[in-house]
Copies of this chain bind each other. A is one copy, B any other.
Amino acid sequence: MSTQATLKAEISTLIANKDFAGLKLKLAPWLSSDIAPILSELPVEQLAMLFRGCSKELAAATFSYLEHAAKHKLLKTLTQAQAAALLNELPPDDRTAFLNELPLDLAMQLLGLLTPEERKVAQDLLAYPEHSVGRMMTLDYVTVQADWTVREALDYIRTHGYDRETLNMVYVTDAAGRLLDDIRVRRFLLADFDTPVRNLMDGNYTSLSPNDDREKALVVFRKYDRTALPVTDPDGRIIGIVTADDMLDVAAEEATEDIQKLGGTEALDEPYTTIALSKMVRKRASWLVVLFLGEMLTATAMSYFEDELSRAIVLSLFIPLVISSGGNAGSQAATLVIRALALGEFKLRDWWRIMRRELAAGFALGCILGAIGFLRIAIWSMFSSIYGAHWPLVGLTVGVALVGIVLWGSLMGSMLPLLLKKLGFDPATSSAPFVATLVDVTGLIIYFSVAFLIMRGTLL
């Protein structure tokens, strides 16, 4: 790793000195894909100078590694012709992702810089829904035909395969381009040259559809441990491939999105450290306000019980304790169910099984907390008169209310994500704070109802 730091410093100096001959010499022995991550750490101003000097291919590889903001900034410092050259050279999947994050007018302007051929590719990819497999396809793959010999295939690979990043799989098609199989390149390497490609086939492959959601692709990748999967159109023709290293980014993004939603904020869609403060406040405020409006119902609910409260002020002491316990139980259940859904562990039609589990778990958890709550009040009452002479009633109210509220929280927390999914929403929207808020309001009603039943005629 230390050589990389040195190398970066050397390149930086060469650029600063405008020593483009020396720079060319320094970069010559490198594969673009190997040095691009190092170059991508240079400041944008240096990158702009570098891009004027180095090959289009290297510029494109480096560009792909930049953060969105740096890409944007860099493009603005390049001339129209340079930008066009760079954009035409970008891998189509990276280009699509970049264009998609730009304001529409700028994206259209950049699309106009592409050659008709590349523009067609870009528009085809952009036609797939956001977060679909189609959007992240790469066209860097090699196909051979089933009736070729291994020698013909290898000759073809040698001619067409050099700049393919993902040569470890070779795709076999019929004359019409319909996918018949995927074969590891090593099998060609190890086979007799005169064998027909057909003899290497086992007819077993898994393919994705370009309209599949990328989360579905993640599940397939995890299941089959492949480094790449082919994408086919409805006629079975191969139209692209998706690679496992790109799926790592998808996995991280999808997890980030789910985690942020679970934390009760809109997904930021940008790194926390670099997102503009105003944008972050907006994304957080929207949910906070929704939760706040929901939570206002607690004030409404409580005003109905104002009489009871004024007669037994002791009841108010346990309100935060009791309702937050329901919220916590709900958060747990929602989180577990949402994650299990995202991992494809169960289907919606299994809701009854989940409900039964949560009924059992919620009741057990409620009993544990209820017992602790009652004990707490009993023990305190031995040393102080804070809860009055009727402390057993207070303890009983808190204990019984806890059983009900924790059970109710677990049920709401587990069923709400399923309901949201059923209705076509993202289940992660039923975030922990969202469930907690719902349970707060209903929890108050449970608490006061239990209190009314237990304390009627004594404290109330």
Binding site for B on A (CB under 8 A): 1, 3-4, 7, 29-31, 33-35, 37-38, 154, 157-158, 161-162, 164, 167-168, 184-186, 189-190, 202-204, 206, 218, 221-227, 243-249, 251-252, 255-256, 258-260, 262-265, 268, 271-273, 277, 280-281, 284-285, 287-289, 291-293, 295-296, 298-299, 302-303, 306, 309-310, 313, 316-321, 323-325, 327-329, 331-332, 334-340, 343, 345-346, 350, 353-354, 357, 360-361, 364-365, 368-369, 372-373, 376, 386, 406, 432-433, 436-437, 440, 444
Contacts and interface: CB of A to CB of B under 8 A. Distances in A.
A165 B452 CA distance: 68
Nearest to A278: B364
Contact of A444 (B158, B167, B320, B376): B320
Contacts of A162: 186, 190
A249 B221 CA distance: 9
Contacts of A37: 223-225
A147 to B, nearest CB: 18
Nearest to A282: B364
Contacts of A243: 227
11 contacts: A168-B185, A226-B245, A251-B255, A260-B339, A285-B365, A292-B325, A303-B317, A316-B319, A319-B320, A324-B437, A327-B433
Contacts of A256: 339, 343
Given A324-B436, A328-B288, A252 B251 contact: yes
- Number of copies of chain A assembled together: 2
Contacts of A167: 168, 184, 186, 189
A311 to B, nearest CB: 10
